[in-house]
Structure 1
């Protein structure tokens, strides 16, 4: 039996969402899944995958444009396979404390794509994050790395189970 083949695509501006996508990929590989992790703006065909995980960074309650365009561009193919969506963004511990529902635009995409699930993970804004706003927030104590690898791996293993992958 061939392993399931899964695409993990991400829309990331400064790398935090890419890091989450990489963690999802690592966890799925540990479950025996054949995983490809790609930037969302490079994805033009998802027909070769048994499932797709698509994520985007949240900015002011909106998903990263690269993730939005990927969902739109591949919508017909995505509707015909298992899809999971994730967002990254809160630069605080709120994603650890309670489930955060998807923003309205992501919720609409979930419905259009018939996505199975959406998960919000904490984001990261550190002294390495470029941009004046980010640097100002970090200087004023509003930064940090709130990505939780254990939570990311648990969700990825859940996806692996739904796909019938065997660790």
Structure 2
């Protein structure tokens, strides 16, 4: 029976959703059955053998949907392999070095014994929702800093780690 992996995400403007979908696509290519879903829409993680949770970063905090998801499903998440990712820096820093998880995500890692966390660059473009986003764009700091080659490599690493742990 195929291994089912949930890739749950919290996003406001869709950038983190696209990262989650890319992760799920690679997990599928690596022989797992993955599904990317908005964190707020997931009622149970019981059908899944492993979970990846991603959240956009806003002012040093994970997206509220990702925070609520891990709080609501903490008992089930603690019983299965768990990986975390963040998206957010609006500069090339995430492609140049490892960025540690923000304090709230670090707590989740420890409490739920997550296997790993990675931070990817973010995207903020014209039409983004929110007052702060519009201010950032007006200051000229928007753009797309996601590195899909790195995202795909990390997803392949997650798949290999899960398959190795399961055998």
TM-score by length of 1: 0.94
Unaligned runs of 5+ in 1: none
* Counterpart in the other structure of 1:9: 8
* Match runs of 1:60-71 below 5 Å: 60-71=59-70
- Are the equivalent residues in 2 in contact too, given 1:125–1:134 (CA < 8 A)? yes
Q: Is it true that 1:72 corresponds to 2:83 in the alignment?
A: no
- How far residue 89 of structure 1 moved from its aligned partner, in angstroms, is 0.6
- How far residue 132 of structure 1 moved from its aligned partner, in angstroms, is 3.8
| CA deviation map 1:57-92 (0-9, x unaligned) | 111101111101100110001001100000011011
Q: Is it true that 1:157 corresponds to 2:156 in the alignment?
A: yes
Paired residue secondary structure (1:152): helix
d(CA) in 2 for partners of 1:115, 1:130: 31
- Are the equivalent residues in 2 in contact too, given 1:54–1:67 (CA < 8 A)? yes
d(CA) in 2 for partners of 1:44, 1:20: 21
d(CA) in 2 for partners of 1:149, 1:16: 12
Q: Is it true that 1:105 corresponds to 2:120 in the alignment?
A: no
Paired residue secondary structure (1:58): strand
Write out the 4+ residue segments of structure 1 that deviate beyond 3 Å after TM superposition: none
* Match runs of 1:123-142 below 5 Å: 123-142=122-141
CA RMSD, 1 decimal: 1.2
- How far residue 162 of structure 1 moved from its aligned partner, in angstroms, is 1.1
Matched pairs, number: 164
| CA deviation map 1:106-151 (0-9, x unaligned) | 0001111110000000000011323343233224321100111100
d(CA) in 2 for partners of 1:79, 1:134: 34
